């Protein structure tokens, strides 16, 4: 079993190469990448197919945009195809630092009982400039601390910056 499954629904082509490159070039190599063309009107396969010579990359195509109709059902259908112990929900316009998975590995080794891992992120604009830097957080937070930081202090958190343990996620 691989350590990390990265699930990447693709609908927009504009930054897809950058998103895939940021995963393929990770310093940690214990991953698989599952890319799904979710009924895009753009030529997603032209971008993805050259990467498919890497056996860690799997590519699927949906005839229609399933994420727009039933997002959770769409995720669940592909979580079942993930072989990793942990799942990252990537996006076609997100770029990961090259040590992202290495940091997730470090945190998962340090806190094996945790079902959700998270690290600090930089939000960038369309020109690649940092538009916002996520606030720092404690290395370990209880559920109550996490909720408090989000509700009281307005911590911004997106799905794409988290790493989930697969089995609890499936439940």
pLDDT score of 133? 64
CA distance readout (Å), 31 to 4, 39, 40, 128, 171: 5, 25, 25, 26, 22
pLDDT score of 132? 67
Question: How confident is the prediction along the chain (171 residues), in pLDDT tens digits per residue?
Answer: 899 999 999 999 999 999 999 999 999 999 999 999 998 999 999 999 999 999 999 999 988 887 888 888 888 888 889 999 999 999 888 888 899 999 999 999 999 999 999 877 666 677 767 666 666 677 788 888 878 888 887 777 777 788 999 999 888
């Amino acid at each position: 079993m691989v350590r990390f499954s990265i699930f990447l629904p693709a609908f927009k082509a504009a930054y897809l190469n950058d998103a895939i490159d940021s995963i393929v070039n990770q310093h940690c190599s214990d991953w698989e990448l599952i890319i799904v063309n979710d009924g895009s009107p753009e030529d997603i396969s032209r971008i993805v197919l050259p990467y498919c010579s890497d056996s860690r990359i799997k590519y699927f195509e949906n005839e229609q945009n399933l994420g727009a109709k039933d997002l959770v059902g769409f995720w669940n259908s592909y979580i079942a195809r993930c072989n990793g112990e942990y799942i990252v929900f990537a996006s076609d316009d997100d770029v990961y630092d090259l040590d992202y998975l290495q940091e997730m590995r470090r945190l998962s080794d340090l806190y094996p009982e945790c079902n959700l891992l998270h690290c600090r992120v930089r939000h960038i604009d369309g020109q690649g400039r940092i538009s916002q830097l996520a606030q720092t957080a404690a290395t370990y937070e209880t559920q109550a601390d996490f909720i408090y930081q989000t509700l009281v202090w307005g911590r911004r958190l997106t799905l794409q910056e988290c790493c989930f343990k697969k089995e609890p996620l499936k439940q």
